[in-house]
Structure 1
Amino acid sequence: MVFERSLSGMTVMLVCLALPAQALAKALPGAVRQDAPEIERAAGVDSRPYETLRRAGEVFNAFHRLAPEAVLRYRLHSLSGRLELYAHGFAGKLSVPLDKDRGFTLPPGAKQQTVITNRPSGSVQWRVDVRTPGLPADTRRLGDLRLECLIDDISHLNLSDGSGVNCMPKPRVNKHCRDDWKVCANRAAEALSGAVQESVNRMGQLKLEKDLYEKRSYPYLFIADRPVFTIILSEGERRVTLPAAWLYGEQLKPGPSFAWPYPREFFYSVPLSDGEWSDDARVTFEYL
């Protein structure tokens, strides 16, 4: 089983999906959409403009309070066994080193360049990677994940328009935050732990209720390091095992003709917009 966006070069019959095409495209943060920002392609390979990655860095700096000890990296996810990355511009093509997990940092001084891979267009998942140091390998921090979602949403790293995902809790938001996110970030020092943007709350706010998140839909989809079996949220004495509906993109309910370009068992969601959980809450994985 493979997942996450209906990408260029892959045939996906949206008319056969259980969800309306527009709703599914909004729910999938990496889905290529006709109204998504247009990016420069280099000879048909998967790429991103340097400007997109630079903007992601600006968002990270603006909302760094969500993950004050973390640094920003980018990660590539692909079914390809061999993946290479280059900064391509007027001066030629410069190799960008990839870590073992296919992570990298933004190459300096490449303002007029495009960051390209050696894989066909649509075959690579581009993600930000925000990790607070010192956590166990099977544990993430909720504030780190909120920041990853927010960066992706605002920078359009995955070509989405950011109008259908919940990255933050809802209280006290500036409704013009999306129009001028830098101003919003400057004014949000006291509200960062509670809310940052209203425009990412259109899919419904997640709240802790008796159903323990059973009846929710369209959350942001993350890619785990390994196939996921169970996810546990914990903070202090509180501990909740997320229902299976939060795994593998189940809440999207795509039809049988939907093509998943990455293994579904790696994908998961967490209740980012539930203000009952602080940024320091832990997300612990049990892997297959």
Structure 2
Amino acid sequence: MLRTALCLFLAVGAAHAQVQSVTVTTTRDPVDKSYRKMLKGMDRFESERSHAPGATLRFRLLPRLPGVRMEGIEMKVVGDTVTLPVPVAPDNSFTLERNAQAQREDAALVANRRTDSMTWRADVRSPGVPAGMRRLGDLRTECRVGIEAGLVSNNAHLFRWLSDLFTNPDAVCRDPQGNYLFFAERPLFAVRLHAGERHATLPFRYQYAGGTLPRADLPFCDCQVLLDRTYHAPIWDAGWPDDTLLEFEHMDDPAPPDAAPAPGIQPGQTAQEVRAALGPATEVRFDSGLQAWLYPPAERRGKNAGPEFIVLFGADGRVLKSRRN
């Protein structure tokens, strides 16, 4: 229940600066981000140093609604008497300066986009992590910072009775059924964990927002336009240390040499041929035209459901690749 509800919501010390002005045409709405909450997220980052000792914190914007333009975003902190510019980097990440006056005035962070048209995330990065990989301790910190900072979507009116769960970082980030949604840089096919001699591939329920979200519900999920990039990480599982590395196989990557395909499935086969060989699946369709078929279907998943298979289809409806967990 908590994981499903989270998918429907979730949405990414300096001296006091001199007050400045910046001209930004903003669209103010009820979900402008609270400057005070963002500062609380920054405080939480400092208190979580044990998980990511050498890391840096930025915040990042990602598209949440179809058609939103992510180029040229301008932001500022706006209070009753104070206005502070917030430079946005080319990757749509930014940092916040601390300003006592803005904090006293309960200022808001506003942009020249509707706030609910974007997914907001904390972005925590430790040095030395290989390119294209993520460190689990960084993700643990991202979750706690993101919840503390209020980086959630504007759909709380649908589930007001759950509001306390979404403002409690420990309730969200330590619950194995309520993992925070993370986003890869490119569409995902597999996520593998590496911790010393221990290795594992995440089960399919950790990808694509669980693979069970009806398309009619996508407008209520931060993953609406990024469904093929979403994953949950086992941030709640102390058995995986903070230095665990997550390795991503993307949809357009060649299959690893040691990857085992789904039985009897070959690239180029049609959906009809796959269904005849493996039976019905949970079918997850993406805006790109690609689709992933997950086996066993969601209604049959469980401890005794047998091996898992995933089959990726191109926009032409033919198999691109498959794998077995």
TM-score of the alignment, normalized to the shorter chain, above 0.5:
yes
* 225, 232, 236: which one aligns with 2:185: 225
- State the 1:152 CA deviation: 2.1
CA contact (8 A) 2:27 2:114 kept: no
Q: Work out the CA distance in 1 between the residues paired with 2:85 and 2:232.
A: 33
Q: Which residue of 2 aligns with 1:134?
A: 128
Change (3 A) 1:107 1:27: same
* 223, 227, 247: which one aligns with 1:264: 227
Q: Work out the CA distance in 2 between the residues paired with 1:236 and 1:56.
A: 31
Gaps of 5+ in 1: 1-18, 32-40, 166-177, 182-196, 206-216
* 224, 234, 242: which one aligns with 1:279: 242
Change (3 A) 1:92 1:201: closer
* 19, 22, 30: which one aligns with 2:10: 30
CA contact (8 A) 1:46 1:119 kept: no
- State the 1:53 CA deviation: 0.5
Q: TM-score, normalised by structure 2?
A: 0.59
- State the 1:28 CA deviation: 4.3
- State the 1:91 CA deviation: 3.8
Q: Which residue of 2 aligns with 1:49?
A: 34
Q: TM-score, normalised by structure 1?
A: 0.66
Could you say which structure has the larger radius of gyration?
2
Change (3 A) 1:46 1:29: closer
Q: Which residue of 2 aligns with 1:163?
A: 165
Percent of aligned pairs with the same amino acid: 32
- State the 1:276 CA deviation: 1.3
- State the 1:162 CA deviation: 6.0
Provide, for residues 167-220 of structure 1, a one-character-per-residue CA deviation record: whole Å limited to 9, x for no partner: xxxxxxxxxxx6xx9xxxxxxxxxxxxxxx4x34785x4xxxxxxxxxxx5422
Gaps of 5+ in 2: 12-25, 157-162, 252-325
Change (3 A) 1:201 1:266: closer
Mean CA deviation greater in 41-50 or 99-108: 41-50
Structure-to-structure mapping, 1:106-145, within 5 angstroms: 106-109=96-99, 110-111=102-103, 112=105, 113-145=107-139
* 85, 88, 106: which one aligns with 2:75: 85
Q: Work out the CA distance in 2 between the residues paired with 1:271 and 1:23.
A: 13
Q: CA RMSD in A?
A: 2.8
Q: Report the 3-state secondary structure (helix = DSSP H, G, I; strand = E; otherwise coil) of the residue aligned with 1:230.
A: strand
RCO (CA 8 Å, sep 6+): is it higher in 1 or 2?
1
Q: Which residue of 2 aligns with 1:246?
A: 206
Q: Which residue of 1 aligns with 2:88?
A: 98
Q: Which residue of 2 aligns with 1:58?
A: 43
- Runs (4 or more) in structure 1 with deviation over 6 Å come to none
Q: Work out the CA distance in 2 between the residues paired with 1:162 and 1:282.
A: 31
Q: Report the 3-state secondary structure (helix = DSSP H, G, I; strand = E; otherwise coil) of the residue aligned with 2:215.
A: coil
Q: Report the 3-state secondary structure (helix = DSSP H, G, I; strand = E; otherwise coil) of the residue aligned with 1:163.
A: helix
- State the 1:157 CA deviation: 2.5
CA contact (8 A) 1:69 1:132 kept: yes
